[in-house]
Amino acid sequence: MGRGAAVTAGRRTAPGGDDAFHRAWRAGLTTEQVLDEIWELRAGDHDYADGTVFNSICSEPLDPARQVFAEHLAANMGDHRIFPSLPRATALVTRMLGDLLGAPDAGGVPTSGATEANLLAVLAAVRRHTGSGRPRVLLARNAHFSFEKIVALLPVEPVWVPLDDRYRAEPAAYRRALATRPALAVLTTGTSECGAVDAVDTLAPYAASHGVPVHIDGATGGFLVPFARELGHPLPGTGLTTEGVVSVSVDPHKYGGAPIPSGHLLVRDPAWLAPLRSASHYRGAADHFGLLGTRSGAALLATYAVLRRQGRAGYRADAAEVFRLRDRTLELLARAGLRSAFPPELMVVGVACPDPEAVQAEMERRGFIVSVSRRFGFVRLVVHLHQTERQLARLVDELADAVREVAP
Ligand SMILES: *Cc1c(COP(=O)(O)O)cnc(C)c1O
């Protein structure tokens, strides 16, 4: 990416710190010098458009995100008195995302991403818990690693459920664990590691029959799963209206084309947010429902803009394209004699090969970024809208070479 020059700023550190970098910082630089330095810093970065990024669930923001983000950078989510537009934008974004997930009258909280949204879902369960002892939270082993942070932070007892051979929550084990009545059960629609979609359509109603509320982590699948059935890909129906589901995390900054940081917690019943309310100490200031305080409203406004621009129809077309590129990738892999590690449900394709970590390193030497699932042992490719069919064909050629090179 960028304008060539090697990264120099920041490297010239001499003992005592009295080097050119620090001297320049003390005096200040011109805008032009600074802008050049930024491009120097970024000289080694990849560009989503250049056909080398095959590990990323995030992508280039869609129009008009850049313009809106830049124009409204100073809007502060922490001050609704100066910026009454932001609670209005929150309500409108919530209406659109709720509609996407089948509940146009849902409640919602904009967040920095699904890590924060998942944390809020668990925090609400902690605060609703009236029983003695720590509330139990049911998690399958495919739960995103944000839940490892969350169970370390909050006073909950995680109950871990094993996976089936497609990396989904194992239904019989999950049912048995539900029967012990945890305070919250978490399911995932579109795991980041495998794109696996848990059986929400049967497990959530079963949870409801035991009085257990279900939170869905739809960070990745939120913009894909709603269209899967109508596009001919049979996946469990996973709306906010599925019986038993009380909340869903979605990440507009993943397959929604919004700029980072943009996540959202949606709740079926707006009253479900009540336990998350933190009252402000200042007269007239808004109560907080999220974890963060001061932050720019630019991402929320840009999310609003992208959602309006795209419409449900735009996301349906994008989802169709993701599924098409994924199926093309599977064909290309088969033609190159590479074996897919599992039948993919969403956008992650796994390639089974000896020594995946060495293959990843070899691909990096060739300039391509792919990743590896360490615990399941496959090369992980994430199909996204910044890729073209030609770029995928080139990737698969390089991958086939790399696999031969590593294990001839
Ligand atoms: C990305 C992701 C998260 C974490 O979201 P952030 O936006 O990175 O905070 C949680 N769950 C799933 C399934 C994800 O894909």
What is the DSSP pairing of strand 348-352 with strand 371-373?
A: unpaired
- 185 forms beta bridges with 138, 214
Check if 212 has its Cβ closer than 6 Å to any atom of ligand 1.
no
Task: Report how many helices (DSSP H) and strands (DSSP E) the chain contains, helices first.
Answer: 12, 11
- The per-residue pLDDT for 369 is 98
107 alpha carbon to ligand 1 midpoint, in Å? 20
pTM of the model: 0.95
Residue 11: CB atoms within 10 Å: 9
Per-position pLDDT tens, the chain of length 408:
544 333 454 455 555 667 899 999 999 999 999 999 999 999 999 999 999 999 999 999 999 999 999 999 999 999 999 999 999 999 999 999 999 999 999 999 999 999 999 999 999 999 999 988 999 999 999 999 999 999 999 999 999 999 999 999 999 999 999 999 999 999 999 999 999 999 999 999 999 999 999 999 999 999 999 999 999 998 987 789 999 999 999 999 999 999 999 999 999 999 999 999 998 888 888 888 999 989 999 999 999 999 999 999 999 999 999 999 999 999 999 999 999 999 999 999 999 999 999 999 999 999 999 999 999 999 999 999 999 999 999 999 999 999 999 987
pLDDT at 9: 46
Can you tell me the distance from the alpha carbon of 57 to that of 162, in angstroms, rounded to the nearest whole number?
25
CB of 139 closer than 6 angstroms to any ligand 1 atom: no
Q: Rounded to an integer, what distance in angstroms lies between the CA atom of residue 376 and that of residue 331?
A: 22
3-state class (DSSP) for residue 175: helix
Residues 6+ apart with CB under 8 A from 172: none
Residues 405 and 398: their CA atoms lie apart, in Å, by 10
Length of the chain in terms of residues written: 408
- The predicted pLDDT at position 4 comes to 38
The whole-number pLDDT of residue 11 equals 54
Q: Quote the tokens at residue 184.
A: 């919250």
Map out the domains of the chain with their CATH numbers. Answer: 48-61+312-406 (3.90.1150.10), 65-310 (3.40.640.10)
Using CA atoms, how far apart are residues 254 and 58, in angstroms rounded to an integer? 4
Which of 144, 151, 238, 254 best tests ligand 1's pocket when mutated (most atoms within 8 Å of CB)? Answer: 144
Q: From ligand 1's centre to the CA of 27, what distance in Å?
A: 41
Contact 252, 263 (CB under 8 A): yes
Write the residue with the smallest CA distance to atom 2 of ligand 1.
219
CA-proximal residue: ligand 1, atom 14 (nearest): 219
Residue 358 Cβ inside 6 Å of ligand 1? The answer reads no
